[in-house]
A and B are shown apart, each in its own frame.
Chain A
Amino acid sequence: MELYLELTKDIRFTEGLKSCMNCGICTAICPAAEFYDYDPRIIACTVQSKDNKKIEELLKSETIWYCGECMSCKTRCPRGNTPGLIIMALRNLSQELGFFTESEKGRQQLAIKRTVGENVVYKGYCVLPESLIPELHPELGPVGEWIYENSGEVYKRVGANYKGDGEGALRKIPQESLDEIYRIFEITGGFDRFDKIEHFSKIKAESMGFPEGGDDYSDYVNHIFTTNNGKHNRQ
């Protein structure tokens, strides 16, 4: 498979890579490049080379998962490139081909699919108060814990309509609307993406010694959600 050709089928790629002259201003402005061992200039340089072997290495690497998609690179590139869009196309292809499970950061896609992804389809929200479990979100602090434990009262106090019918913040999305979102996922490839993430993740989980058990690889999900090998950061 000509991987460069596959990338050019993604509008984000064709819009994101015009012609890179390797000036590195994207790297200078990039929040990810300050924190991770990451250099968007090299990403643009690698895909621009059209070298199939190097692009495959990129698709299997940790590197493509370091970007935060803030798109600060778009603002500053003198050639109108957007490395953040190139990254989105690379991540898309990495998941299509199952290469994402070859890296610690890539494997995290299963945890994201099972939380935020499924929330969109089945609840109509990316995030919900009941998903902000204090043990998983210690950064939300004692106030976050107080909100979690008193959610009904707290949200009512500030005028939200938590789990209620009709309009308002955190209303229950009507079932007929959720059915429409479900159909959209069926027709547009949303569920195909989900299925590929599940399929390749299960193969990886088995190979890493995480059995399915009766809980749909929950030990594997916990592992990818919390594991950091400490080798990702800029030294």
Chain B
Amino acid sequence: MKREGKIQVWKDYQKEIADDHYFYVRSCIRQNFFPGAEQTFLKILRSELGKDICENPHHTSCSGIAYHADVVPFDTIQTIAARQFALMTEAGYQNFAVSCITSFGIYSEIIETWKEYPSELEKIRNYLKRATGREFEVPQNVAHASDIVYKFREDIANKKKFPLINQQTGQPLKIVEHIGCHYSKMFPAKGVGGAEFPNVLVGMIESWGGEVVDYPERRHCCGFGFRQYLVMSNRGYSVSNSRKKFESMEPYKPDAILCNCPGCPMFMDRWQYVIEEMEGKTYGENGQGIPVLTYEELAGLVLGYDPWDLGLQMHQTNCEPLLDKIGIQYDSSLKYAGKDGKLIGKPAMVGC
């Protein structure tokens, strides 16, 4: 599609994103694999943008992975979601900010269900009251954390220390984006740009100086598939779908892959290592992998944060090729250090 056409589609799918005062709910997967990304998101909102964002230690998993692996019934996950809304209501907030894409899809599905079936809402209110004594209001605004970074992308651009420019060539860095399936495939109106041409990551990349590279399998699932990864004997599904994407993007020589879902960057990072082990195949330059970043990590790099504060050492696929292109200085000797430089050993092998 011509760019003019995409711009028209994006205009048709502009969602409302609250300006301030967010109640934040974390992601199980992001906490395990990219906890630095969540910390970076909170730091950017509070320190760089001066926003109010509340976290309550009593919030829990939404149970979304268990729900989509079909061991948790719909009534149960609806009531767990209602409990999160109750915590938001009790804290005096109306804007719900969600770290996880699976959770974002869950909250969207549940709120839409309550609109279509008011009796479900009443049932869940009753369940929550009986189970916890709590009551809740449905959020006025539900935004994925990437929506919020998108909303303030120009404010971040105005503070940038490092534009997404290849310092060796002077050209914009070529970045492929991967949108988590449950961001907008189920409810296109809930995502910036809809399901076919999501603009949430495109907007960040372009505002920060990079160039978005299209590729045929851009909208293909990373292959998580819930039960298809959770059970060891099913993981061929997962790696095969990521491989399909790597093969598709390889000819366009991307400098990085950018994701807005917690699971996708973990899989696209780790499956590159697995494919190298299984087939000896790598997809980046000079026999290396393609660095895979979360949008919080990329925002942090643009703002000049230390790569190891962001947690890039928790990636299997080396991110240094990207840091070198951007021109970011880093201390390799501290990459695998603990807090305050404490030496804790290194991985047996890094990269792919």
A positions within 8 Å CB-CB of B: 10-12, 15, 31-32, 34-36, 65, 67-72, 74-75, 82, 88, 91-92, 95, 105, 108-109, 111-113, 115-117, 119-120, 124-129, 132, 136, 139-147, 149-150, 153-160, 165-171, 173-174, 176-178, 180-181, 183-190, 192-194, 197, 224-228, 233
Contact = CB atoms under 8 A, between A and B. Distances in A.
Contacts of A15: 116
Interface in B32-56: 32, 35-36, 38-39, 55-56
A153 B344 CA distance: 8
A189 to B, nearest CB: 5
A158 to B, nearest CB: 4
Interface residues of B, number: 97
Contact of A72 (B113, B134, B181): B181
Interface string B53-82: 001111111011110111111111011100
User: By DSSP majority rule, is chain A's interface helix, strand, loop, or mixed?
Assistant: helix
A116 B309 contact: no
A169 B38 contact: yes
Contacts of B188: 75
Contacts of A178: 60
Given A35-B237, A193-B73, A181 B185 contact: no
Given A31-B241, A139-B271, A12 B74 contact: yes
A225 B26 contact: no
Contacts of B347: 141-143, 145-146
A141 B273 contact: yes
Interface in B78-114: 78-80, 83, 105, 113
A184 B226 contact: no
Interface in B14-43: 26, 28-32, 35-36, 38-39
A109 B69 CA distance: 8
9 contacts: A34-B244, A36-B237, A70-B221, A112-B71, A126-B64, A140-B270, A169-B38, A177-B60, A228-B234
Given A112-B71, A126-B65, A169-B38, A139 B314 contact: no
Nearest to B31: A169
Given A158-B35, A184-B76, A177 B58 contact: yes
B38 A144 contact: no
A10 B83 CA distance: 22
Given A141-B270, A150-B344, A88 B70 contact: yes
Contacts of B240: 34-35
A158 B231 contact: no
B125 interface: no
B270 A188 contact: no
Contacts of A142: 316, 347-350
B333 interface: no
A69 B70 CA distance: 10
Contacts of B151: none
A137 to B, nearest CB: 8
A35 B310 CA distance: 35
B223 interface: yes
Contacts of A111: 230-231
B341 to A, nearest CB: 10
Nearest to A36: B237
A183 B271 CA distance: 38
Contacts of B232: 136, 225-226
